Structure 1
Amino acid sequence: MPRNTIRAESGVRDLTDAERADPLFVQSVERAMKVLSAFHETERPLSLSDISERIKVDRSAVQRMVHTLRALGYLRRDANGQGIVPGLRLLDHTLDMLRLDPLVRRATPVLQELRGSVKERVDLSLFDDLRVIYAVRLQTKRQTFNTTLVGHSVPTFCSSGGWAILSRLPEDQARDILERSDRRPFTPHTLGTPDEILEQVRTARAEGYALACNQILIGEIAAGFPVMDADGRPVAAIHVAGSLSEWSADEFISFVVPHAEAAARAISLY
Structure 2
Amino acid sequence: MSKAKGPPAQAATPDPRLYIQAVERAMRVLEVFGHDPQPLSLAEIAAAVGIDKSGAQRLCHTLRHLGYLEADPGGQGLRPGLRLMDRSFDFLRMHPLVERATPALMELRRATQERVDLSLPDDLSIVYAVRLQSKRETFFATLVGRRLPAFCSSGGRAMMAALPDAVVEDILARSDRRPLTPRTITALPALRAKIAEARTDGYALACEEGLLGEIVLAAAVRDRQGRPVAAIHIAASLSEWEEADFRRRMAPLAMEAARALSG
Which TM class, normalised by the smaller chain length?
over 0.9
Q: Which runs of 4+ in 1 moved over 2 A?
A: 13-16, 186-189
Which of 64, 75, 90 is the equivalent residue of 1:70? 64
CA distance in 2, matches of 1:217, 1:238: 18
Question: Among residues 16, 20, 42, which one is paired with 1:21 in the alignment?
Answer: 16
Q: CA RMSD in A?
A: 1.6
| Aligned twin of 1:251 | 245
Measured in 1, the distance between the counterparts of 2:213 and 2:65 equals 46
Could you tell me which residue of structure 1 aligns to residue 113 of structure 2? Answer: 119
User: Which residue in the other structure is 1:159 paired with?
Assistant: 153
Matched, 1:134 2:134: no
Q: Name the CA distance, whole Å, in 2 between partners of 1:82 and 1:219.
A: 34
SS of 2:35's equivalent? coil
Q: Percent same amino acid at aligned positions?
A: 53
> Could you tell me which residue of structure 2 aligns to residue 33 of structure 1?
27
Q: With the length of structure 1 as denominator, give the TM-score of the two structures.
A: 0.90
Q: Please report how far the alpha carbon of residue 83 of structure 1 lies from its aligned counterpart in structure 2 after TM superposition.
A: 0.4
Does structure 2 conserve the Cα–Cα contact (< 8 Å) formed by 1:175 and 1:194? no
One-letter amino acid matched to 1:114: L
Q: What TM-score results when the alignment is normalised by the length of structure 2?
A: 0.92
Residue in structure 1 matched with residue 215 of structure 2 by the alignment? 221
**Cα distance in 2, alignment partners of residues 225 and 15 from structure 1:** 30
2:3 corresponds to: none
**Counterpart position of 1:105:** 99
SS of residue paired to 2:136: coil
Kindly tell me the number of residue pairs found equivalent between the two proteins. Answer: 254
Tell me the CA shift for residue 172 of structure 1: 1.7
Unaligned residue ranges in structure 2 (runs of 5+): 1-9
Counterpart code for 1:152: R
Q: Which moved more, 1:35-44 or 1:156-165?
A: 35-44
Deviation of the 1:241 alpha carbon: 0.9
Report the residue type matching 1:27 in the other structure: Q
1:218 CA drift (Å) = 2.2
Q: Does 1:182 align with 2:176?
A: yes
